[in-house]
Amino acid sequence: MKTLFFKTQTIFLFLFGIVMVFAQNSMKIPQNSVFYMEVNGKQLNKKVNWEKFNPFLQEITKDKSKKASWNDYSKTGIKYDATQYHYATMNDSVKSYNTNFTLDNQAKFQEFINSVKKKGQEVIKKNNYSYVDIEDDIFVAWSGNRAVLSMISYQKPYNWDDVAIDSAVAVIDSAATVAIDSAYAEEIKPFDYKEEIKYLKDDIKYLKESIKDNNAEILKLQKDIKYLEKHHKYPEEKKEQEITEAVKDSTYTPSVEVLPPPISQDDYYEEEPYEIDSSYQKEMDSLNIERFKIVKKFAEDSFDQYFNSNGELSVTKDMLSFRDPDSDVFIYADYGKIVNEGIYGKLPESFNFTGVLGKLYNSNTSYNLYFDKDKVRLVNNYQHKDPETQKNISEVYKGKKNKKLAALINDKSVGYYVINVNGSKYFDMMYGLLKNSGEYEYQKEMDLMMETMKIVLDEEAIAKIAPGNGIFVLNELQSKNVEYTDYEYDDNYNEKEVKKTKDVMVPNFTFAFATENENYWKRVFNVLTSNKAFDKNFSKNGEFYVFKDEKNKNGYVDQLLFTVQNGIVYVTTSKENITTNNQSEISKQWMKDSSKYPLSGRLNIQKLLVGLDKEFKSKSERKMLDLLRKNVGEVYFKTEAKGGNIQTEMNYNIKNSSENSLMYFFDLFDEIYKISESEKPSKIL
């Protein structure tokens, strides 16, 4: 009995151990990941109309030199109704983008890969997967129903402050690393002033020749301009008479047109006008080979790790904290790492770019994207990694609302942007970002300066001048006839100035903000009208202060009106803009939202394009404009502090009759592509 019990216990523990091993053997997203994305294939596949999508993809990717046996992009062996996982990594030398997806037909997938890989490129088979390099920096691996695509780039890290090469490169075999380092090494020679003088003389000679060539080219172009102005076309080339009879006399030479001597040696253009230095070419080939070895090693290590796992990706909680499983696409981005380690990571510390910027971008930022029936919806969540900083930012978004500003909103306008924040809390946020942002040796001095600023600045008094409520309304784009200077040339190419006129679109807008100290702004405007340095452009007309720039009358904005009324400071291009009009039901809803949310706004792209009508001149541009007018929609967004983060929801309402908002973009791009193709010149046989 005991033996049976111990055997049963042993088998149970063994099976339990296997389950635990497989449960824990998921692949972890690398720590230096700056981007993560999940594509909800189950939902998106239902929204894609493959009958439309396939012909379009086949058209834009057509290549007569390759004929695949399959003709349906929905049947490439990829399981499109499964979730795809994307992530990107970044450090000072290696950047990679990886896509993990599911297969439903491995044979079809390999057929697809064979059609896109390099000709003659062999598939490499490993213990538990196969892979091939489609390009020098693009690798695809697969096994069973799993596949991975990796794009990897390598660049030798900069050695600004004698910093050691990134630890990631250390995993590569020493032979490859030494080969790359030796290629960058330069022999240091003592300075030779005679050799330097020779270089400078050669430079002078080159510059003189360049001037001569440029003058000859300018003369040629001026003659072309003159000929085009007179004949509206280029001169026809003389064609040689076709020889139909066989040439019997071996000494006979057919007549050819005698060309004038070239202006410069660059006129003798060939595929390779200059001989390539063979030693330089060998060195570059060597560098490319070694770089490929490094990239290939990284790809293999990543594939080994993934295909030795259970196929699941282990993602940290902070990446998924704002994921909505019902969204079509979820994206996470670590802008702190992108800025600090990517964009500015290679710069020396003395530049100190990562101070305030590093603290501002040190956040978890997520996006949930939805392709709804009648609109595209994007929900963005921003949360700073420092709780104290996030608290200060959230406090800024808790300002008072102002209904007087909302009264400027109307449905006839092109768009508006409303802000209702707490101006006094803005200073606390800036102090928090500036604090501990200086270099370590000057940190005490920086902190003292911050404390001094808080003492000197009267935050409450400043907040009363501009509490944090404002609005910008773009009412319309108006046509304005302006004068400009053009240049014409006579028969001797002498330049002559000519005054011409044209129609341009100028904005008719209103900018307004609340104030609790009207007298302060009135004193500012009175000073501008009475000061000798400004009174030429500033004047007073009743309750309005007028700025007019006669010198800039042909500019986009040559007149502005200022006034202070009922606790609101107005800056506008027209007095009528501040008059409250009767509003429709939709504009009343926008008014409510503008009073409810810290940030909100809308933009009617269709009205914007109507206003920009005169900016489109050519026939193809007019076609494109007409297409966009019929199809573009309206953007609407709102932002609020919610649950310890800042959430922004943006909606793009579609206009045409597409099946859904995903296919709306396809239909729009399809029409744009057709217009662009129709404008291409036909091939002459």
Contact 310, 21 (CB under 8 A): no
Task: Round to whole Å and give the CA distance between 578 and 683.
Answer: 58
Residue type, 481: N
Residue 86 pLDDT exceeds 90 = yes
Residue 7 pLDDT exceeds 50 = no
pLDDT in tens, 224-257: 777 777 777 777 665 545 444 443 433 333 444 4
pLDDT in tens, 564-577: 999 999 999 999 88
Q: 65-79, 116-130, 180-194, 315-329: lowest mean pLDDT where?
A: 180-194
CA of residue 640 relative to chain centroid, distance: 25
Residue 302 pLDDT exceeds 60 = yes
Contact 511, 568 (CB under 8 A): no
Instruction: Tell which wins on pLDDT, 97 or 493.
Output: 97
Q: 177-191, 229-243, 338-352: lowest mean pLDDT where?
A: 177-191
The whole-number pLDDT of residue 11 equals 35
| CA angle centred on 321, ends 316 and 322, rounded to 5° | 135
pTM of the full structure: 0.73
- The whole-chain average pLDDT of the chain stands at 77
Instruction: Tell which wins on pLDDT, 416 or 92.
Output: 416
The whole-number pLDDT of residue 587 equals 85
Contact 165, 157 (CB under 8 A): yes
Residue 165 pLDDT exceeds 60 = no
Task: Round to whole Å and give the CA distance between 306 and 26.
Answer: 8
pLDDT in tens, 589-617: 888 888 889 999 999 988 888 777 767 76
The whole-number pLDDT of residue 259 equals 47
Range ranked top by mean pLDDT from 131-135, 139-143, 354-358: 139-143
Task: Round to whole Å and give the CA distance between 599 and 469.
Answer: 10
Q: Residue 175: which pLDDT band, with cuts at 50, 70 and 90?
A: very low
Summarize the confidence of residues 508-534 as an average pLDDT. 89
Residue 514 pLDDT exceeds 90 = yes
Contact 105, 99 (CB under 8 A): no
Summarize the confidence of residues 496-500 as an average pLDDT. 85
pLDDT in tens, 648-676: 999 999 877 788 999 998 888 888 888 87
| φ, ψ for residue 208, nearest 5 deg | -65, -45
> With pLDDT > 70 as the criterion, what percentage of the chain qualifies?
73
Summarize the confidence of residues 327-356 as an average pLDDT. 71
